[in-house]
Amino acid sequence: MKTIKGPGVFLAQFMGDEAPFNSLDSIARYMADLGYKGIQLPTWDPRVIDLKQAAESQTYCDDLKGEVAEAGLEITELASHLQGQLVAVHPAYAAMFAGFGPAEVANDPKAQQEWATQQLMWCAKASQNLGLKSHPTFSGALLWPFMYPWPQRPNGLVTTGFQELANRWKPILDAFDEAGVNVAYELHPGEDLHDGVTFEMFVNYLNGHPRAGINYDPSHFVLQQLDYLQFIDFYHDRIFAFHVKDAEFNPTGKQGVYGGYQGWVERAGRFRSLGDGQVDFSSIFSKLSQYDYDGWAVLEWECAIKHPEQGAAEGAPFIENHIIRVTERAFDDFAGTGADEDFNKRVLGLS
C-alpha cells in the first residue's frame, strides 16, 4: 500500500483582487502558513501561471516550481476545468459558457473548441515540464440538455453524442499520453461524464484509452445519491486525482435531487466545508489507501454558508488527520512462526 500525499488545496476558489489572494507568491505563502503542502493551479488564471509559456519553456517551469518551493510547497497538478468545458458545448449553454474563453471566439463554436483543444494540448506539455503525473479537468457536454428522457430521446442520440465527445478528446488524450500524464475527469452534473456509467461509456468509445481517468470528488455523488464508496471499488484503477470536498443531501416533502431551481443555501443538496457535511471521509481515505492511491488529497473549497478563509484554515488539518500512514507490516506479525514449504506441508499433514 501507499500513503496519500497532502494536504493540498485548489487555488481557483480563493483567487481574488486583494492580497494575499492576487498573486502566486502571496497565496502560496498564505496556504503554506495554514499547513498545506501542495497547491493545484487553475491554468485559466494568469496570476498563477502563463500556460503557453509553461508549455514551451522548461526554464519557466523550473522557475515556477522554484517559486512555489520557496513557499514550502509543491505543485500538485494543473487544472483546466474551464477549458475542458469548452471542448464540447451544447448551443443551449453557449451564451453562459462564453466567458470561459476569450471574447474573440465566444460566438464561433468551432473556433471556441479549437481554442480549448489548444489549451489542453498546452496543459499536457506544461504538466510534463513540471514533472506532474495527473491533470484534472471537465469533459464538456453535448447531451446534458437530454439528461432526463422526456420527451423521449431520439434513437441513437446518446451514441452520436458520445462518439463525437470521444472524437474531440482522442487527440487531446493522445497528447497527454505522449507527455506521460493522466487526464482526470471530474464527474460533475452539467458534464456528459457525471457518474460511473457515463464514464464507462466514454472510455468504451475511446477503446479503453489508458489516460482517460477520474478526478474523484465525492461531493457530486452525494448530490446524485450515488454510492461514493462502492464507486472506489469499481473505478480505483482509473482514479488519478482526488478533490476533498464535502456535501450534504437533506430532501424534504418539497424538493429532492433536482433542487427546485433554488439557490445553494436553499437546496436539498448543497456543498459544505470539510467536516460540516455528510461525506464519510474516513472510509474514503481507507479505501483509497487500500487500493494504493498515492496521489494528492486536494481541498476544493465550496460552501454555501462558511467563509472561504475559515474553510481553508480548517481544511488543512482535516485532510492531514485523515491521511493514513500505511503500514509496512501486518499487525499480528509478532505472533508469526516463520515457515517454508516443508513446514507448510507438515502443518497440512502432507508429509
Residue 68: the pLDDT is: 98
The pLDDT-based confidence of 346 (bands split at 50, 70, 90) is confident
User: At residue 150, what are phi and psi to the nearest 5 degrees?
Assistant: -150, 120
Which three three-digit cell numbers place residue 282? Answer: 474516513
Which three three-digit cell numbers place residue 339? Answer: 515457515
Residue 135: the pLDDT is: 99
DSSP letter for each residue of 207-242: TS-TTEEEEE-HHHHHHHT--HHHHHHHHGGGEEEE
The mean pLDDT value of the chain amounts to: 96
- Cα separation, 248 vs 269, in Å, equals 6
In the block, cell 464538456 appears at 140
User: What pTM does this model have?
Assistant: 0.96
User: At residue 194, what are phi and psi to the nearest 5 degrees?
Assistant: -130, -5
pLDDT of residue 246 exceeding 80: yes
| CATH for 74 | 3.20.20.150
Q: Any idea which of 42-56, 73-87, 326-340 has the lowest mean pLDDT?
A: 326-340
- Cα separation, 52 vs 15, in Å, equals 20
> pLDDT of 211-240, one tens digit each?
999 999 999 999 999 999 999 999 999 999
User: At residue 188, what are phi and psi to the nearest 5 degrees?
Assistant: -140, 135
Look up the domain containing 106 and give its range. Answer: 5-347
Residue 334: the pLDDT is: 65
Residue 330: the pLDDT is: 75
User: In b/e form, how buried is each residue of 17-43, taking b as 16+ CB within 10 angstroms?
Assistant: eeeebeebeebbbbbbebebbbbbbbb
Residue 88: the pLDDT is: 98
What's the average model confidence in pLDDT over 320-339? 82
Residue 351: the pLDDT is: 77
DSSP class of residue 144 equals G
How many structural domains is the chain composed of?
A: 1
What's the average model confidence in pLDDT over 324-349? 82
Residue 275: the pLDDT is: 98
In the block, cell 472506489 appears at 232
Residue 333: the pLDDT is: 73
